[in-house]
Structure 1
Amino acid sequence: MKTKSVYKIIFVQLGEIYEVFAKQIYQSDMYGFIEVEEYIFNKDKQLVVDPTSEKLKNEFSKVERSYIPINSIIRIDEVNETGEAKIKENKGQVSPLPLNIQPFNKKD
């Protein structure tokens, strides 16, 4: 029996790099966005709590669905098991690419 897929989504948000895990990811009906549903957070009780992981849990705890702009996404991986959700400082030159999402009108 095939196990349910888990996705690791890495994207840029307000100058920081977010790494989250979710069970569902779709191309949105809203042009230029993907939909992310059913966020997964490590429920293990740890002695040392990562503050960025706690921040993500609080930020997404009541979120049913997120719409993330395609140009903010760095990478999406299908993984076998979840890891720790985290926020990384953008130390490099990672930034969203500009994306022209308006359809091209060709004048004849």
Structure 2
Amino acid sequence: MTRSKTALFKVVFHNHGKIYELYARQVSASDIWGFTEIGDLVFDVYDGVVVDPTEERLRDEFGNTRVLHVPMHSIVRIEEVEKKGQSAIRDAESGEKVVTPFPLPAKPR
């Protein structure tokens, strides 16, 4: 099955006790047996102020990655989507986001 170059996939997978949700343009079976190949990762690009710390953390971790090889048993779901949503890192147990979108105010002394 051929895909257009504008195809966009939401990939959800387990990684070190967390659930990662990334967006990519290419997803296929890897030449490495038992792995899924995820390439051309898509990140939002903002100048200046960091709008989404989760996106920033994911870009720091995977920004220089050409192709990500994820073990097939770690994949939770792969969806072909119309447009990019918000990337996320969640705790595998609770499903709560690991990175808080905005800093919490300091407790008064």
Q: Report the TM range for the smaller structure's normalisation.
A: 0.7 to 0.9
What runs of 5+ residues in structure 2 fail to find an aligned partner? 96-109
**Among candidates 15, 18, 22, match of residue 17 of structure 2:** 15
Q: Tell me the residue number matched to 1:62.
A: 64
Q: Secondary structure at the match of 2:64?
A: coil
Instruction: Report the TM-score when normalising by structure 1.
Output: 0.75
| Aligned-residue CA RMSD (Å) | 2.1
Structure 1, unaligned runs of 5 or more? 94-108
Question: Equivalent pairs: percent with the same residue?
Answer: 35
Instruction: Name the count of aligned residue pairs.
Output: 92
CA deviation vs aligned residue, 1:52-107 (integer Å, no higher than 9, x gap): 221101111111011000000000000011112121122349xxxxxxxxxxxxxx
> 1: distance between equivalents of 2:66 and 2:5?
22
More displaced 10-residue stretch of structure 1: 50-59 or 83-92: 83-92
Report the Cα distance in structure 1 between the residues aligned to 2:48 and 2:86, rounded to whole angstroms.
Answer: 12
Q: d(CA) in 1 for partners of 2:86 and 2:58?
A: 10
Question: Residues 7 and 23 of structure 1 are in contact (CA less than 8 Å); yes or no, is this contact kept in structure 2?
Answer: yes
Q: Which residue pairs with 1:5 in the alignment? A: 7
Please give the alpha-carbon distance, in whole angstroms, between the structure 2 residues aligned to 1:30 and 1:62. 20
